[in-house]
């Protein structure tokens, strides 16, 4: 998929939002990518997952034994990546503020894992999910995402394969431009802002 085709998928799903958004990273933005809307259509979600797998080198794809995603945002794309790669898909969640496997999920010691996200902005959630996977015995050999909002600056500590990199500006609370600050902030994500 080309960048224009990917953005067209977001627009067709009404998933590229404009306004004033408080991201789960705690940063502010005039743009928000609602991947849940993008991925709510199973055919579109399958196309997106297939396009992400095609960004990964064949040798990486062939080593992956399971896909694990952080809840909530990564669950759908993680499941579709599992389908595209022919491996199980699980998720980590943080009912007490720290990611961990629950619901009977387990990882064989040394299993090679793809950690899959919907959107990466700072990489904090991804790094926390990777830590939880490693503490559960897995070896994270790669990470993927539908969107890398960091424009390539997020360091996840493993090879990272996003479908698209976007550089919508984000701002710390004390850096929000006055025109954006004049619009009430909306928090559309699945986690309390930092």
pLDDT in tens, 89-146: 999 999 888 888 889 899 999 999 999 999 898 888 899 999 999 999 999 999 999 9
Grouping H, G, I as helix, E, B as strand and the rest as coil, residue 61 is helix
Binding-site residues, please?
A: 94, 117-125, 149
The predicted pLDDT at position 192 comes to 47
pLDDT at 16 over 90: no
How far is Cα 21 from Cα 183, in angstroms, rounded to an integer?
A: 9
* H or E stretch at 86: none
Enumerate the known binding-site residues for 5-phospho-alpha-D-ribose 1-diphosphate: 94, 117-125
Q: Which two tokens stand for residue 91?
A: 């998720």
Under a CB-based contact definition with an 8 Å cutoff, are residues 34 and 191 in contact? no
Specify the pTM. Answer: 0.83
Q: Which residues participate in the annotated binding site for orotate?
A: 121, 149
How high is the pLDDT of residue 189? 62
The full set of domains in the chain, from first to last, is 3-182 (3.40.50.2020)
């Amino acid at each position: 998929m080309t960048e224009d085709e990917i953005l067209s998928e977001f627009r067709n799903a009404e998933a590229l939002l404009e306004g004033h958004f408080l991201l789960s990273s705690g940063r502010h933005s005039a743009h928000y990518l609602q991947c849940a809307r993008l991925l709510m259509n199973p055919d579109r979600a399958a196309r997106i997952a297939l396009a992400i797998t095609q960004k990964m080198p064949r040798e990486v794809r062939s080593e992956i034994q399971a896909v694990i995603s952080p809840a909530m945002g990564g669950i759908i794309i993680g499941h579709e990546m599992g389908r595209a790669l022919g491996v199980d898909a699980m998720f980590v969640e943080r009912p007490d503020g720290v990611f961990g496997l629950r619901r009977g999920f387990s990882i064989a010691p040394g299993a090679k894992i793809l950690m899959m996200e919907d959107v990466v902005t700072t990489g904090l959630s991804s790094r926390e999910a990777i830590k939880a996977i490693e503490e559960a015995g897995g070896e994270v050999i790669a990470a993927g995402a539908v969107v890398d909002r960091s424009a390539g600056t997020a360091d996840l500590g493993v090879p990272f394969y996003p479908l698209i990199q976007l550089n919508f500006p984000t701002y710390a609370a004390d850096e929000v431009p006055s025109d954006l600050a004049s619009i009430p902030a909306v928090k559309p994500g699945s986690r309390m802002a930092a």
